[in-house]
Structures are given as structure tokens and as C-alpha cells.
Structure 1
């Protein structure tokens, strides 16, 4: 698997957008520089979903590969970093789903007093806001149009206007989607608090 990274000084948003445009035009050097420049931000986004560092790093790697493969889909209307944020969120959620599907339920009685489950396979359950991830999975199945705006606003704190630009919807529609998404997920999160 290719490893993106390297030590880059912080680039301005305009410099990142310029690198992204050059990468879209086929400049492989610009793509490598871009991926190195955005890696810390992508890793922070992934850590917001997967707090266990190796899991977040796996998700970040997937995000960078997706960014490299899908860079042509960035429309250039908003900041590249906003588009990258969505790709990283989706990669982190995809990594979570994959880990959840691979997890094998264990009998707690089968572990000795000093024996613990391997954190590489159980971390997705140990340190993650499982209630939030489960609520997003349910919302995605039943009302997929609310998930992306809700995550971008309430988990990652993007402003409404950036979200509207990113998802290509009117500002009022985005605000309504977020409001309805909150209304639908609130009972799922409250149920998790009672446990």
C-alpha cells in the first residue's frame, strides 16, 4: 500500500486549492505534495470517528487513496479541504463498518484474569462513540439524505454555508436536513445514555 505523507510546512487554503487544481490536471508531483499537506487534517478527521490511533491511521490511508483516485470529482466551487473533509469522514465510517463486520463476538468468560482481547480487533468497540456511529448507520439506512449534512455540522462543526456549497443544496434545505437529522437521532442517542 502506498504511504502518503512527509514533512510539509503548513500551506494556505489558496495554495492547497492550487495544488489540487494542478493535481486534477495530471501533475503527479502536485498530487504527492497535496496528499502530504492534507494528511494531518485527514488524520484528525478520522480520529474524530476512530479514536484508537492505528484505526484512525488506517482510515486516513484509505481517505488519501480515495482522494487521489477521486480528485477529478472535486468541483472547485468550495475549498478543497472542505471536500477532503467529506472524503475523510466517509473513509473513517467505512473503516468502522468494515471493522464492525469483521469483529467476532467473544464470550467474556473465555478470557482469563490477565488475558485481554487484542486491541487491534476490538478498539472499534472500546473507545469509539458507538452510540453515535450506530445512530448514523440507522439514519443512513432510513434517511440517507440527512447523514452527511448532520455529520458535517454536528460532529465536525462546518458552517452551514460551507455544507450547502459542498452538498450542492440550498442553505435552507441543508438547515432543514440537519434539523430533521437531529430530531431522528436524538432518541437513539438518548437510549444509549440509559444503558
Structure 2
């Protein structure tokens, strides 16, 4: 019996310490998955709580056909693809072309040099890459996140999405082409000849409310590994489209939400299925 199998067996048998270990093991990866799909941290927190409850209450059905996290991703992806709540881009049905046009509007002639310049430039970069993802329809977005951001193999990603590897690769390639074309024509981080620069978007992003200078949502987000600056090094080293999306810090799920999940599970309202 391997470590994961033994851990799940203990959790299903009612070992509260094992149950907590499962939740702590999965919380951050599932939160990062949710954040890439729903954009805003508050919405990602709510989604992660729901996904964790679904995962834990189905632990007895896990048969080690995939790694525990991969299996949890399948449950999370199914929840996120069917989520009724829409992101702002989904509500507006904003396309990548329309988003590109919006970035031209209000682009400053010089880099932002005001208070907390580095922090706010990072916030613009992180927020913008999140917004780009939301311009993809959900099936393409999740294919891109699994393959290009999380760097899962096509076999793993196809299993999560319950499609054939060939179908997954076709979906990923479609998303990859759209993202690459957008960034090549727009983003100075990928193409030196592209028009948009994060440091020239700060004033406009603040003015329209995309960035809150008093409380940046992503640049100051708690992390469980890489921070903002460490992640940004990867972007400048690789200088490609996928790196723009991978160069986010290792966001950590809020402890309060995780504690709330554990409290619910320990309350007896969500018994494990033995």
C-alpha cells in the first residue's frame, strides 16, 4: 500500500488527522486551479471550499486510478466548467480582439513612476494575464491552464477532462494559437515590438478599477512557495507566451476557508462515504 492509499484509507475510516492532511495537501493546488478559471480571489475561495467538500466526501470512491491530486483536479474541473457564476469577461462575452482594443485606450506615453511603482506594475501584469484567460471559452481555458500553466501531460489532462488525448491536444492547440497570436500582437513581455507595456497601463488600470492601489489583490496575495518577484524571474528568463501565465506566485488558499471546510466535515453534516 503506497502513502496516498494508506492516507486515504485512514481518512475514510474516520481518522481526523488524516482527513486534515488530505485537505491541507489539496487546498493550494485546487485554489490555484479555481483562481485561473474564475479570476477573482473571493470567487476562487468560494469555489475551492465547494470543491474540497466534494473531494473529501467522495474519498471512498478513489481507487488510485490516478494520483490523488489528479483525481481531485477532475472533480474541481467538473465543478468549475459548470459553475453558473460568470466572470466579468464572460458576462460581456469579451473576445481577445476586444480586450486588445481596450488595452490601447489609456496607454500612457511613459512608464508609471508613482508610489509603489514596482508593486502596481506587477499587479497590472498579474491581473492582465488573468483577464486574458477569461477571454477564452471555458473548455479552451481549462485545456490551456492544465497543459501550459500546470504543465500536465496530455494523458493526465485528458483523463481529468474525460476526453481522448487526441481530442485534448486539439483543444489545447486551439487555445495555444489564440493566446500566442494575442500576446505577439499585444504584449511587450513576449514581443518587443508589441504596443502594450505593464508600466504604461498602471494609471488607466487604477482609473477604471481593475487595480486597487490601496489593496492589490494578486501582487500581495499570500503564497505557499514562490513569491511575485521570484516568479517574475522565470518570465524574463523564458520570454514566451506560456511563461506569462506561469509567472504567477504560488498562491495559497486562505486559512480561514480551509478551517471552515474542516469544521464542516467534522460537524457530521458531510459524512465520508464508506
Q: Answer yes or no: is 1:70 the counterpart of 2:62.
A: no
Which secondary structure state, in structure 2, belongs to the residue aligned with residue 128 of structure 1? helix
Task: Note the aligned Cα RMSD (angstroms).
Answer: 4.6
Deviations 1:161-195 (A, max 9, x none): 10111111001001111111112222222233131
Structure showing the higher helix proportion among its residues? 1
2:14 corresponds in structure 1 to 27
8 Å CA contact 1:160–1:174 kept in 2: the answer is yes
Q: Answer yes or no: is 1:145 the counterpart of 2:139.
A: yes
Deviations 1:127-159 (A, max 9, x none): 5161x322221112xxx3222121111111111
User: After superposition, where does 1:1-195 map in structure 2 within 5 Å?
Assistant: 14-20=2-8, 23=11, 25=12, 27=14, 29=16, 30-39=18-27, 41=29, 45=32, 62=46, 65-71=49-55, 72=58, 76=63, 77-85=65-73, 87=76, 125-128=123-126, 130=128, 132-140=129-137, 144-193=138-187, 194-195=195-196
Structure 2 unaligned spans of 5+: 81-86, 89-112, 188-194, 197-274
Q: Point out which structure has higher relative CO (alpha carbons under 8 A, 6+ apart).
A: 2
8 Å CA contact 1:39–1:60 kept in 2: the answer is no
Computing the radius of gyration over CA atoms, which structure comes out larger, 1 or 2? 2
Describe the shift of the 1:153–1:80 C-alpha distance in structure 2 as closer, same or farther (beyond 3 A). Answer: same
Deviations 1:77-102 (A, max 9, x none): 422212445649x6xxxxxx58xxxx
- TM-score scaled by length of structure 2: 0.41
Q: Tell me the number of residue pairs that the alignment of Structure 1 and Structure 2 aligns.
A: 152
Describe the shift of the 1:124–1:64 C-alpha distance in structure 2 as closer, same or farther (beyond 3 A). Answer: farther
Question: How much has 1:37 moved relative to structure 2?
Answer: 3.0
Q: Tell me how far apart the structure 1 counterparts of residues 144 and 66 of structure 2 sit (CA, whole Å).
A: 18
Which secondary structure state, in structure 2, belongs to the residue aligned with residue 154 of structure 1? helix
- TM-score scaled by length of structure 1: 0.55
8 Å CA contact 1:149–1:178 kept in 2: the answer is yes
Deviations 1:7-48 (A, max 9, x none): xxxxxxx4335544665x5736132121123346557x46x9
